[in-house]
Each structure stands twice: as C-alpha cells, then as structure tokens.
Amino acid sequence: MKRFLKSINIPELIRPLGQLVFFSLGTTIVLSAIVLVFALILDRTVVGQTLFERLNVSLFTYTLINLPQVAIDGLTIGFVYAAIALGYTMVYGVLEFINFAHSEIFAVGAFVGVEILIALDRFGILAGASLVMAYVYLILAIVGGMLAAGGLAVAVERVAYRPLRHASRLVPLISAIGVSFLLQDAIRLVESLTTGQFNRIFPTFGNFDRRVILGKMALGTTNITLGVSIKSIIVIVSAVLMLVALNYLVNATKVGKAIRAVAQDHPTASLMGIDVNRIISLTFLVGGMLGGAAGVLYALKFTRIDAFVGFFPGLKAFTAAVLGGIGNMTGALLGGIVLGMLETYAGSYMGVFTMGAAGTEYKDIFAFSILILVLIFRPQGLMGANVAQKA
C-alpha cells in the first residue's frame, strides 16, 4: 500500500487542477473586465438609455448582476468542449492529422449512453430508482458510452487510417471526413431500423434537473436567481476528473511516456522497443473514450440528441484545440474553456450591447473571429505547439 502511494506522482495530480482553476478564473476575469468596460462606455449612450427604459436598470448594473450566471454557464460548456478537444489534440499529437470523425465518435457515445438509459427506463427501473442508484445508472451509461466510443475509435483507426499512414497528409484527412459522413448515416440507419425515430431523448430521472440556488439579486423590477443545475455540476466534475486522469496517464505513467515518445518520433520510438501501432491504437482508445463520455454528458445537459448531434460540438472543439495550440494538451484545456466562455459571454451580452440588432444568433461569429485573429497573430495557438509535451 505504501509503495503504491509512493508511486503516485502527486504533483502531476495537482498541476492540471491548478491549471484548470487558473484558466477558468483567468478567462472569467478577463472577459468580465472587457464586458464591464463596454457596459461603462455604452451606459451613457443610447444603448444604456434603451435598456433603462425597458428594464429600469442601468446597463452597468445589468451586466454586473448577470455576470456570475454567465460565467457558470460558460464554464460548463467550456469543459465539454475541452473534453472533446483533447481527442482531436491527442490524435494530432501522435499522427499529425485532424481526426474529423471524432465528432461522430462523440455522437456514438451519446447514443449508446442514452439508449442504455432508455432501455432501463422501458423496464421501469429508472422511475423508481433511489438517488444513489440514479447516479449508478448514470455512471453505467457514461461507461457504456465511453467503451462504445473508444472501441469505435480504435476500429476506425485500424480500418480507415492505418493503411494510409504513409500516404501524403491530405489522404487520411479525406478518409476521416468520409468516415464522419459514414458514421452519421450509420447512426441514422440503425436508429431508423430499430426505433424508427430521429430524435432520442434523455429520460428524466434522479435529481439531475434540480437546481442549486446560490442567491437572488434584484434587477430593476425583477429578481435574477443565481443558480447552477445539478447536471451542470455533474458535467463539470466529470470533465475535471477525466482531464486530471488523462493528464496523469500521459505525464506520469510508463504508457504515457511511450505515447509522448511516439508523438515525437515514430521510428526512434520503435527502436526503443515501443510498439508504435499499439500506442497509436491506445491513443485513439483514450481519445475516443473521452469523446464518448463527453457525448453522454452533453446528452444529459441538453436532453435531445439526433444523428447529427456531433457536428457543432465537434467543430467547436476542433476550434478550441486549434485556439489552444493543436497537439498541446494544456492548450486544448485552455482553448475549450476560452471558447465556451467567449461564446456564452458574447451570446448573453451582444443583444443588449447592440440594442437587439445583433443578438445571440451571432455569437459564433464572435468566437470564430477570435480564432482568426489568434491564427493571424499567433499561428501556433495560445499555448503554442509544445513539442516536448505534445501527446
């Protein structure tokens, strides 16, 4: 036991936690400061007056009072993006190509998890489940989603990427896009043959839909309730656990060392006695499992899924990976959090700041313009492609 404890690399457990807290706080502070400055500037203009007429509150107060809720919402979606982005970044680290099928691997995870729960619900197990059992079933669904997605990712690599490993770099990329379409329609086909339905809906059970109220704040004539739903907490906690576990695997274990070695140089790694193919399969397994778990969490948070559910989260997570510096795990974390926060802040405040002219619907323009700016002025991403650490 003592030896086991000794073998745990404590700093490697704490370091990613510290990074997560630092990134979350840092992004929150920076973005909050920016919107508050905007609010102060616009308060004196017609924008502030319009809002005052509508809600009887100054723009600055409005912005300030909404901030905590916006930050919590942004973090929740940010962690989901980070978990998916890690799948892109890990594959890029070892193979230097973008696995566009990752968004469908995410979708398959979501479908398997939700189908497990729907099956349990059909047998009437979920309805009467105690709180503890509800969490057990949720974990069962997440594990089911992880295994299916991980297995699928390994299979996709074996079938569609390995034969193309020595082809030019564009070839596996095209193969990945093909796999992506194939999987989308495969999900659709399976669903229409078995259930005949396009939408699958996460069953209601346990206390996930409940909300922890953190406080009430007066805003003009109404009250804003600050709170966080239990499912958001579950999403954040699970994502943090996964990220810490992944970081530990890559940076503090023998297998992780092998992954890093393969990422740096395939031929040399194989000369050192590392089975390169096995390590690449393992990378896909781990990335796929993360994506699958993220899929189930996404379904938990947003209730409804369909065969094309992976497209947007996948695209955003890919953006997050590029934003942070593709190939860099810490960068994927940062990119996910920044992108999630950015789009939530933009979506929440753009409508008010522009007097409704450019509302929530344009939040993606904002997020992607930042990406373009980062790529122009810092092509390697926010954290840079950290070669020594890339994995």
Partner 1 sequence: MTKRFWIVFSLLIAVGMVFIGPAAAADQIIKIATQSPLSGDNSAVGVDIKRGAELALEQMSAPLAKMGFKVELAPFDDQANPDAGVANAKRIVSDPAILAVVGHYNSGVQIPSSEVYHTSGLANVSPANTNPKVTTRGYLEVNRIVGRDDVQGVVGADFAAGKKVKSVFVVHDKTAYGQGIAEFFKKRAEEKAMKVLGFEGTEEKANFDSLLSPILAGNPDLVYFGGMYGQAAVLFKQAREKGYMGMFLSDDGFDSTDAVKIGGQTLLDGAGTFYSTVSGPATIYPGTAKFITDFKAKYNASPQPFAAQGYDSMGISLKAIEAAAKAGGNKLPTREAVSKAIRALQDYAGITGKFTFNSIGDPTVAKYFVIQVTSPDPAKWNDNPVVETLDIAPPK
Piece in contact with partner 1 (CB under 8 A), picked from 23-31, 196-204, 271-279, 317-325: 196-204
315 binds partner 1 per the rule CB under 8 A: no
Candidates 309, 322, 329, 371: give the one binding partner 1 (CB under 8 A). Answer: 309
Tell me the site size for partner 1, rule CB under 8 A.
47
Q: 179 or 309, CB closer to partner 1? A: 309
- Whether residue 211 contacts residue 228, with contact meaning beta carbons closer than 8 Å, is answered with yes
- What DSSP string describes 185-242? HHHHHHHHHHT--S-EEPPP-TTTT-EEEEEEEEETTEEEEEEEEHHHHHHHHHHHHH
Q: How far is CA 34 from the centre of its chain?
A: 24
319 binds partner 1 per the rule CB under 8 A: no
Piece in contact with partner 1 (CB under 8 A), picked from 1-9, 18-26, 33-41, 205-213: 205-213
Candidates 55, 64, 249, 276: give the one binding partner 1 (CB under 8 A). Answer: 55
Contacts with 41 (C-beta within 8 Å, 6 or more apart), sequence order: none
Candidates 113, 259, 348, 381: give the one binding partner 1 (CB under 8 A). Answer: 348
State in angstroms the smallest separation of the CB of 124 from partner 1.
14
Per-residue interface string for the shown chain with partner 1, residues 210-229, x marking contact by CB under 8 A: -x-x-----x-xxxxx-x-x
Q: Say which amino acid occupies 367.
A: A
Piece in contact with partner 1 (CB under 8 A), picked from 3-11, 33-41, 235-243, 351-359: 351-359
Is 5 buried (19+), middle (13-18) or exposed (0-12) by CB count in 10 A? Answer: exposed
Contacts with 349 (C-beta within 8 Å, 6 or more apart), sequence order: 35, 38, 63, 66, 70
Burial 111-143 (b: 16+ CB within 10 A, else e): bbbbbbbbebbeeeebeebeeeeeeebbeebbb
352 binds partner 1 per the rule CB under 8 A: yes
Piece in contact with partner 1 (CB under 8 A), picked from 74-82, 136-144, 277-285, 376-384: 74-82
What does the radius of gyration of the chain's CA atoms come to, in whole angstroms? 22
| H or E element, residue 96 | none
- Whether residue 92 contacts residue 327, with contact meaning beta carbons closer than 8 Å, is answered with yes
Candidates 346, 371, 374, 391: give the one binding partner 1 (CB under 8 A). Answer: 346
247 binds partner 1 per the rule CB under 8 A: no
Candidates 19, 28, 69, 175: give the one binding partner 1 (CB under 8 A). Answer: 69
Q: How far is CA 99 from the centre of its chain?
A: 16
* 217, β-bridge pairs: 224
State in angstroms the smallest separation of the CB of 390 from partner 1.
30
State in angstroms the smallest separation of the CB of 54 from partner 1.
7
Is 372 buried (19+), middle (13-18) or exposed (0-12) by CB count in 10 A? Answer: exposed
Question: Would you give the end-to-end CA distance of the chain in angstroms?
Answer: 30
303 binds partner 1 per the rule CB under 8 A: yes
C-alpha distances in Å from residue 243, one per residue of 57, 158, 372: 41, 25, 27
Piece in contact with partner 1 (CB under 8 A), picked from 29-37, 92-100, 209-217, 280-288: 209-217
State in angstroms the smallest separation of the CB of 223 from partner 1.
8
Give residues in contact with partner 1 (CB under 8 A). Answer: 54-55, 62, 65-66, 69-70, 73-74, 76-77, 199, 201, 204, 209, 211, 213, 219, 221-225, 227, 229, 298, 301-304, 306, 309, 312, 343-349, 351-352, 356, 359-361, 363
